[in-house]
Each structure stands twice: as C-alpha cells, then as structure tokens.
Structure 1
Amino acid sequence: MVQEISCRELAAKLEQDRAIVLLDVRDDWEVEICMINGAQHIPLSNLPGRVDELPPEKTLAIICHHGVRSRHAAMFLEDYGFKDVFNVTGGIDVWALEVEPDMTRYD
C-alpha cells in the first residue's frame, strides 16, 4: 500500500529534512513549465531504466501533475524494493495552489 503525503506536509519536510528526495516523474515538457526547486527529474516512462539513480536508503516523495503517475511510480519502486516511498497527493497542481502560489499552472 502506497503511503501518501500532502503538499503542505512535503513542504515542511523539505525545509527540515535533507534526507528526503523529491522525485518528479512528469514528462520533459511539463518540467519546462514548472518544477519544484531541488527535485530530481526522471520521467515515469524512463524510471525502469534509471532506477539505479535513486538512493534506496533515503525517503522518496514522488510527484507528478495530479498524483496518478506518481502513485504508479511509487508502486513500481516499492515492488523494486524501496522501503520509504510516498505519493504526493494532488501533485504539482495542488503544490502551486497551496505552497507556491506564484508557480505557473497548466492543464
């Protein structure tokens, strides 16, 4: 079962905990529009071939546009053996509404 984290909870964790890794699984064109500073970008379609770029000993928070692709990424990583994985509920769209209101949003 994939653990969930809200955008506000994630923002607080990112401020205080450098051990958490934010993984953005959106497509390249989406990241060109907006991205959370410090996020590691690996598109979901590339994740199986690039999973070795992620630190299995750290907490991973995974974000996409609305939370669907990030949930799939979290399930994949859990199946791969990652232990501390969170899906960011609402994705970067909710992040822009609740945490970073100046961030550009898209449909």
Structure 2
Amino acid sequence: MQILTVQELQDWARQTPAALLLDVREPWEVALARIDVPGLAGVHMPMGDIPSDLQRLDPEQPIAVYCHHGVRSLQVVAFLARHGFDVVYNLAGGIDAWSREIDPSVPRY
C-alpha cells in the first residue's frame, strides 16, 4: 500500500505529470470542502460508484485517492490495486489533515 502525506502531495504533483487526484467522498461532502492542487486533475467519484465506474479511470495514470480521514480512500486504493492500478496512493488523513496542516481555509467537518 502506497501512502502520501498531505505534505508530500504537492511535491508528488510536481514530480508526477498527468496525475489524478480522486475524491471518493459523498456529494454533500464535496459541497462542503475540496482540495485543489496545482498540477493535479481532480475527479469526484463516490466510493460506492467506483466498481461500476472503474472504466472512467486509466490504470496507467498515477492516482492519489482521498476522502475525509483516509479510511474510505484506503479501501479504494486496495480495490484499485486489485484491479490492475499500479501507481495508486492513499492520502493519509484525508481532507481533514489537508485542512489542519496545509490549508486552513478548507472547511473542516
């Protein structure tokens, strides 16, 4: 299991061309707060939609997955890895860690 801390995410984005930041939270959570990282394309796909929407993701594209605290994203990373995604990372602490440690303007909930 590959893990990125919130401190590592920005450097990873600069070093990883064409990477994707995958938000697996529910729509109501996305309405409250989101992460924008220069250099990363952002996609929202709730965790429950991943199995049916898997074809929307490119197994060759590096992906960093996040949720609220990192639990759902950890499960999604494991699922993606089992389905042939080799370069996939869990964002440790999720958007809550991002808000606490990187950008306090991102609302906590």
Same fold (TM > 0.5): yes
Residues 52-106 of structure 1: per-residue CA shift (max 9 Å, x gap): 1112111110000000000000010001111111111000000111111111110
Deviation at 1:50, TM superposition (A): 0.7
Matched, 1:29 2:32: no
Secondary structure of 1:58's aligned partner: coil
Q: Determine if contact 2:68/2:96 at 8 Å carries over to the other structure.
A: yes
Q: Determine if contact 1:11/1:99 at 8 Å carries over to the other structure.
A: no
Deviation at 1:16, TM superposition (A): 4.6
Provide the C-alpha distance between the structure 2 equivalents of 1:35 and 1:105, rounded to a whole number of angstroms.
10
Root-mean-square deviation (CA), in Å? 1.2
> Among residues 60, 85, 93, which one is paired with 1:90 in the alignment?
93
> Among residues 68, 71, 75, which one is paired with 1:68 in the alignment?
71
Segments of 4+ in structure 1 off by > 4 A?
none
Task: List runs of 5+ in structure 1 lacking aligned partners.
Answer: none
Matched, 1:7 2:3: no
Q: Determine if contact 1:96/1:104 at 8 Å carries over to the other structure.
A: yes
Percent of aligned positions with the same letter in both sequences? 41
Deviation at 1:17, TM superposition (A): 3.3
Residues 4-62 of structure 1: per-residue CA shift (max 9 Å, x gap): 11011012222453322110000000000011124210000000011111121111100
Matched, 1:80 2:86: no
Provide the C-alpha distance between the structure 1 equivalents of 2:83 and 2:16, rounded to a whole number of angstroms.
24
Task: List runs of 5+ in structure 2 lacking aligned partners.
Answer: none
